């Protein structure tokens, strides 16, 4: 599974896969044995008095006032040999109004992994 966006489910999935890789003999003979994997997830919430939201569909820019900007970044790497590796990085930005309503979600799009 390669996520389209960063969600609680995507983070939970990669944490679970990481735990499974730590277990000796995963029990699934069809799954290659991973030599290493790395998972990183960070999120920040920053209050902003103004935030310029580029709206390329309308060919205009909206300026939002008194919002919270949530930035999430997730990265995954797995390696099971010279011809068996995959990695990707994903980011997502969510803009919240001062009362917690979602105003905009940015960067939800197809994720291009690197595969060998």
Domain ranges of the chain: 8-23+32-115
Residues 79, 37 contacting (CB under 8 angstroms): yes
Taking all residues of the chain, what is their mean pLDDT, rounded to a whole number? 84
pLDDT value at 12 more than 70: yes
**pLDDT tens digits, one per residue of 34-64:** 788 899 999 999 999 999 887 655 555 688 8
**pLDDT tens digits, one per residue of 67-87:** 999 999 999 998 888 778 889
Residues 13, 34 contacting (CB under 8 angstroms): no
């Amino acid at each position: 599974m390669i996520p389209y966006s960063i969600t609680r489910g995507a983070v939970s999935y990669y944490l679970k896969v990481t735990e499974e890789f730590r277990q000796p003999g995963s029990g699934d003979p069809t799954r290659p044995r991973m030599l290493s994997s790395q998972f990183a997830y960070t999120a920040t919430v920053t209050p902003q008095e103004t935030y310029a939201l580029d709206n390329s569909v309308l060919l205009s820019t909206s300026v939002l006032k008194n919002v919270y900007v949530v930035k999430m970044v997730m990265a995954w790497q797995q390696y099971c040999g010279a011809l068996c590796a995959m990695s990707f990085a994903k980011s997502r930005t969510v803009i919240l109004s001062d009362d917690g309503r979602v105003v905009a979600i940015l960067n939800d799009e197809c994720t291009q992994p690197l595969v060998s």
